[in-house]
Structure 1
Amino acid sequence: MGALRLFLLAGEPSGDRLGAALMAGLKQLNPEVTFFGVGGPLMQAQGMVSLFPMQELSVMGIAEILPKYFHLKRRIRQCADAVLDGAADALITIDSPDFSLRVAALVKNAREGLPTIHYVAPSVWAWRPKRAAKMARVIDHVLALLPFEPPYMQAEGMTCDFVGHPVVAEPLAEGGDTAAFEGEGPLVLVLPGSRRSEVTRLAPVFGATLARLKQRHPDLRVVLPSLPVIAPLVQELTANWPVSPQIVTDTEAKRGAFAVADVALAASGTVSLELAANGCPMVIAYDMHWFSLWLMRRLALIDTVTLVNLVSETRVVPEFIGPDCRPDKIAPALDHLLTDESARMQQAQAMELTMERLGRGGEPPGLRAARSVLNFLNAP
């Protein structure tokens, strides 16, 4: 296979995890591969010397980006120049499309024949279908996390492989991790999101939902996994909840909670896949600014936002979005899951199918992604 020099670019912690697994897979398949680019601690542990701290790129939303616009623009140029000056055999961008695809555009403009690969297909199946066509101008090959994504990319002229979702490779709780959550009464796992704005908006609704649920289940117990950086806010916002939640911030405790909870009330997002990996029945609830909701519904091409519903091609996970994100609607759905064996069984089957379709039991996603990269680069 020979020596291979690859520029990898990640801008978020999730991208750092994907990049590190990809690097490990590439080293396993081709010991002569070397890396340079931008990555976080996990990618650095695999041998990456980052051009600058990855955290500089971890900004979200127009309000956060605008003050850093010119700085980010300089970083885009710096990355593109490094690809071109560093004799890279290929550019691999990992998620963070607003930044990474701009780098790819500069690289393609300067050296059209340089292979460009993007890891994590954009959600064109959900909205903005024209984004795939725009992406195809600067990306040659895509590594997709969801099994139904390749046709959307291929339709625009890119090659694309489904390489499996990283959730299938994440460790599950072992016996010792669950001891802290043993006790009488149903255990509800509450997941109001990881951003301050989400937690602030959802905490009152989730608290009122638990008040209703406690009327039906007086011995209700609640555990709330959180990030250390927002745990103080969570503590403040849940102080008046009818059931005082057990707030956990370390990874092992979180895994244990996911493994033993009877039901979960979660914000919309990839957390539904983490719950599915652990076989935890769930109800999804999410609220947002009225304009964002109006825009989303106007552009949406799908009738569910829950990945378990999409991947399993069922609609067994109840979801309460926008005006439906109300305690009087959410609480009965949670109660139904706690008391109806057939409802739990339906979700269990959909979650098992989801994990199977995402690659559980097969080759690890990082290795599959590495194989896809090497096959693409070696293709005639």
Structure 2
Amino acid sequence: MSRHIVLVAAEASGDALGAEVIAALKAKAPNVRLSVIGGGAMSSAAASLPVRLDGLAVLGLVDGLKAFSRVKRLVREAAEAIARSAPDAVVLIDSWGFMWRLARELKLAGVKARRIKLIGPQVWATRPGRAKVLARWCDHLLCIHAFEQPYFERYGLATTVIGNPALGRGQEADGQAFSQAHGFHSGRRVVGLLPGSRPSEIRRTAPTLIKACEQVCGQRADVIVVCVLAPGVESEVRAMAATWTFPHILVSEEEKSSAFSAMEVALACSGTVTTELAAQGAAIVVGYRLGWITWAIARLFLMRSRFITLLNVAAGEEAAPEFVQTRFTPARTAEACLRLLDDPQALDAQRARQKRALEAMAGPGRPAAEIAAETILRLA
């Protein structure tokens, strides 16, 4: 009998990674049976279980409390659907708050499947107690950096380093072809706008990034803004874009890598996308804003790192400028962008810093999804 593996993702980034792992699983074990609870990318690659996690992505204490009853219900529904499908392994992708609860529900219900967490919480930056929680409810962690392993292994959780999935994406990207396809003339300066992938980010972070783009375009007539739409918030961003007066185009996720390759500078919400941008050579200006209650608690009790951007954490310095909370203003963000556009030496220096940070983040030298698939098949 072929092995049965269930993969679960609750956010767009997890859905994309899940689809990559599914492709690798199929390549290595064509007879493996795969089921998913996830978004469009995973659902198009494997059979879906009858649970929808749309709109589950929440961020921050207050947002989490508001969604708590829904999270509990979806955890129960997902656990019941998984138990009925009788898998050999369950792969829980990213989305800490939902996935640890699902792992706990599966274990307490006596589901025999191996519980494998794909990407762990960033305990090196905040809330180190999560490592102990994960070790209690999961059997194995697939982590993206070797420096993460000791945080989890001290509690007895086995780990495998797969590398950063973002570093293996978009190798075939062609920024010049993207610019030509969209009719940009040779003197056009392309500035990226990455406003976030969660509803809370669109509410809190996107408006400041958009105002910064207005200020940049107000001072540089040669700039065109390219906004890449994340699947989970596309309709919200399109509605906002209807009021933008600066030169811009909106592009879908399918054009993401080529769009990134065309960008000189990108104004980005902190997240996985910053690593993907750096891998394509775009100089990044990072912004982020949490709810005030969440921010106050994080600053007082939870945060362990000076930086929130993984590039900067890996570099041990501000490889890319980041503005958080009160420092995150349209004027500061626009000023950082304009400095890079106006000063070729500053642009080259930042790209060099970002490249060194990426080298520090480099994993085992093979695609992360391939290593993840091998480990999952070994454990299932």
Question: TM-score, length-normalised on structure 2?
Answer: 0.84
SS at match of 1:229: helix
Partner of 2:149: 150
- Whichever residue aligns with residue 157 of structure 2, its letter is M
Partner of 1:11: 10
Is the 8 Å Cα contact of residues 39 and 48 (structure 1) preserved in structure 2? no
Show the 5 A alignment for 1:38-49. Answer: 38-49=37-48
Show the 5 A alignment for 1:45-124. Answer: 45-55=44-54, 57-58=56-57, 72-111=71-110, 114-124=113-123
Q: Is 1:287 aligned to 2:293, yes or no? A: no
> Using the alignment, how far apart are the partners of 1:6 and 1:323 within structure 2?
45
Give 1:73 shift.
Answer: 3.6
Is the 8 Å Cα contact of residues 231 and 249 (structure 1) preserved in structure 2? no
> Using the alignment, how far apart are the partners of 1:204 and 1:49 within structure 2?
35
Is the 8 Å Cα contact of residues 12 and 58 (structure 1) preserved in structure 2? yes
Is the 8 Å Cα contact of residues 44 and 50 (structure 1) preserved in structure 2? no
Partner of 2:187: 184
Show the 5 A alignment for 1:231-380. Answer: 231-239=237-245, 244-251=246-253, 253-298=255-300, 299-359=302-362, 362-377=365-380
SS at match of 1:149: helix
- Whichever residue aligns with residue 296 of structure 1, its letter is A
> Using the alignment, how far apart are the partners of 2:55 and 2:192 within structure 1?
33
> Using the alignment, how far apart are the partners of 1:196 and 1:14 within structure 2?
14
Larger mean Cα displacement after TM superposition, 118-127 or 105-114? 105-114
Is the 8 Å Cα contact of residues 5 and 91 (structure 2) preserved in structure 1? yes
Give 1:230 shift.
Answer: 2.1
Larger mean Cα displacement after TM superposition, 199-208 or 284-293? 199-208
Spell out, residue by residue over 1:354-374, the C-alpha distance to the aligned partner (whole angstroms, 9 max, x if none): 444555893222111011223
Is the 8 Å Cα contact of residues 248 and 254 (structure 1) preserved in structure 2? no
SS at match of 1:190: strand
Q: Against the structure 1 CA distance between its residues 35 and 224, is the aligned structure 2 distance closer, same or farther, given a 3 Å change threshold?
A: closer
Structure 1 spans left out of the alignment, 5+ residues: none
Structure 2 spans left out of the alignment, 5+ residues: none
Give % identity.
32
Q: Against the structure 1 CA distance between its residues 119 and 224, is the aligned structure 2 distance closer, same or farther, given a 3 Å change threshold?
A: same
- Whichever residue aligns with residue 233 of structure 1, its letter is A
> Using the alignment, how far apart are the partners of 1:204 and 1:94 within structure 2?
29
> Using the alignment, how far apart are the partners of 2:337 and 2:343 within structure 1?
10
Give 1:43 shift.
Answer: 2.6
- Whichever residue aligns with residue 135 of structure 1, its letter is L
> Using the alignment, how far apart are the partners of 1:214 and 1:92 within structure 2?
44
Larger mean Cα displacement after TM superposition, 308-317 or 246-255? 246-255
Q: Against the structure 1 CA distance between its residues 36 and 136, is the aligned structure 2 distance closer, same or farther, given a 3 Å change threshold?
A: same
Spell out, residue by residue over 1:151-209, the C-alpha distance to the aligned partner (whole angstroms, 9 max, x if none): 21212210111212222232253243221233425332233334455445456644554
Q: Against the structure 1 CA distance between its residues 42 and 69, is the aligned structure 2 distance closer, same or farther, given a 3 Å change threshold?
A: same
Q: Against the structure 1 CA distance between its residues 327 and 3, is the aligned structure 2 distance closer, same or farther, given a 3 Å change threshold?
A: closer
Give 1:325 shift.
Answer: 1.7
Q: Against the structure 1 CA distance between its residues 198 and 182, is the aligned structure 2 distance closer, same or farther, given a 3 Å change threshold?
A: farther
> Using the alignment, how far apart are the partners of 2:252 and 2:111 within structure 1?
46
Give 1:317 shift.
Answer: 0.9
Is the 8 Å Cα contact of residues 162 and 363 (structure 2) preserved in structure 1? no
Spell out, residue by residue over 1:36-73, the C-alpha distance to the aligned partner (whole angstroms, 9 max, x if none): 35233333333323233342755666777778765654
Spell out, residue by residue over 1:85-129, the C-alpha distance to the aligned partner (whole angstroms, 9 max, x if none): 444222222223323322221322243864221111011111110
Partner of 2:173: 173
> Using the alignment, how far apart are the partners of 2:80 and 2:228 within structure 1?
41
> Using the alignment, how far apart are the partners of 1:334 and 1:78 within structure 2?
46
Spell out, residue by residue over 1:7-52, the C-alpha distance to the aligned partner (whole angstroms, 9 max, x if none): 3222223222222222222232233321235233333333323233
Q: How many residues align?
A: 372
Is the 8 Å Cα contact of residues 90 and 116 (structure 1) preserved in structure 2? yes
- Whichever residue aligns with residue 179 of structure 2, its letter is T
Q: Against the structure 1 CA distance between its residues 370 and 255, is the aligned structure 2 distance closer, same or farther, given a 3 Å change threshold?
A: closer
SS at match of 1:223: strand
Q: Is 1:229 aligned to 2:235, yes or no? A: yes
Is the 8 Å Cα contact of residues 58 and 200 (structure 2) preserved in structure 1? no
Question: TM-score, length-normalised on structure 1?
Answer: 0.84
Partner of 2:29: 30
Is the 8 Å Cα contact of residues 88 and 113 (structure 2) preserved in structure 1? yes
Q: Against the structure 1 CA distance between its residues 230 and 162, is the aligned structure 2 distance closer, same or farther, given a 3 Å change threshold?
A: same
SS at match of 1:27: helix
